[in-house]
Structures are given as structure tokens and as C-alpha cells.
Amino acid sequence: MADKKKAEGKTPTGKEKITPGSRPPRKRKPKRKGPPRTKLPLDTVEKLAGIGCTDQEIAYVCGVSPKTVQRRRKDDPAFLSAIEKGAAVGRMSLRSAQFKAAIGGNATMMIWLGKQLLGQTDKTDLLSAGRPIRKVTIQINGTSKDGEEDHGPG
């Protein structure tokens, strides 16, 4: 009889029957397999991205594989934000240094920034005394089109 009471409310396989009004058992999240997740210091990641480090370089400094860095970029919004913020700050710093160099009189930097930001180009016009140079064709006597010697008439 005790076996009968134990069997009540269960299927032949021993699982609980779901009856109207009863709650199904909660599904547990599957435990993560593998080693525990490595903490990557976001301030370090941001600084490395700020000086233009690649994912591989960030991984090396943080002691993880490059795949881990790439996976975190996809899965962790805070990690991605740290990389993007660092890269933006790095670009701003570089741009600021370039402007300072140009303002300080560095002619090369002035030319480069003018081309990049103002659409300036190097354009050379071939002029002779203010007029365009005409196309000149040189014909050499004694040679035909196919390269054979031309001995003149006859």
C-alpha cells in the first residue's frame, strides 16, 4: 500500500504528472561548461584600445586567447563599449596632436590635413608661358610602323 501512495501522481517512468492547476517543474539553466570566466579589466582594455592595440595584443596583455576577446566583443556590451570608447579617445588624441603639429608650423602635417579634411589635392597643370603645352609627335625617318627599315622610294 505504501508503494501505491508513492506511485500516485507519477507516470510509469517515475516523473510527476502535470495535472490541471499544478505548476510544471522549473527548468534550471544548464550549468556552464569549462573553466570559470576570466575577468578582463575594462579600464585596461579601454587604455589598450586607446593606443590602437589589436584584439590579439589586448588578449596577450590580459592573459587570454584572441578568441576570448572576439567572443567578449559579441557577448558583453560593457566590454564592447570599453573598446569603442578607448578607440574613440585614441583617435581624438591623435587628431589633436596632428592639429598641434600643423598649427606649430609643420608644413607636411598642414598639407596632409588639408588633403584629408579640406579635400585639397596636388594638381599640376602643364603650361608653357601661360598656354597649355601641345601634344608633340616625333616621327623618325628610316623606320616603318612595323620596325623594318624604310629605304625611301624605289
pLDDT, tens digit (0-9, with 9 covering 90-100), for 2-27: 555 555 666 667 666 666 666 666 77
The answer to whether position 47 is within a domain reads yes
CB 82 within 8 A of CB 90: no
pLDDT of residue 84: 96
Secondary structure (3-state) at 42: helix
The answer to whether position 2 is within a domain reads no
The answer to whether position 92 is within a domain reads yes
Determine the average pLDDT of the residues in 70-84: 95
DSSP string, 115-139: HHHH--------EETTEEPPP----
Instruction: Give pLDDT tens digits for 99-151.
Output: 999 999 999 999 999 999 888 888 776 666 667 777 777 777 765 555 555 55
The answer to whether position 101 is within a domain reads yes
- Rounded distance, CA 49 to CA 86, Å? 5
Instruction: State the total domains in the chain.
Output: 1
The answer to whether position 122 is within a domain reads no
The answer to whether position 55 is within a domain reads yes
pLDDT of residue 128: 65
Distances (CA, A) of 122 to 101, 114, 140: 21, 11, 35
pLDDT of residue 123: 75
Length of the chain: 154
Parent domain of 47: 39-117
pLDDT of residue 140: 76
**Grid-cell match 490541471, residue found:** 20
pLDDT of residue 10: 65
- Rounded distance, CA 45 to CA 80, Å? 10
The answer to whether position 56 is within a domain reads yes
The answer to whether position 103 is within a domain reads yes
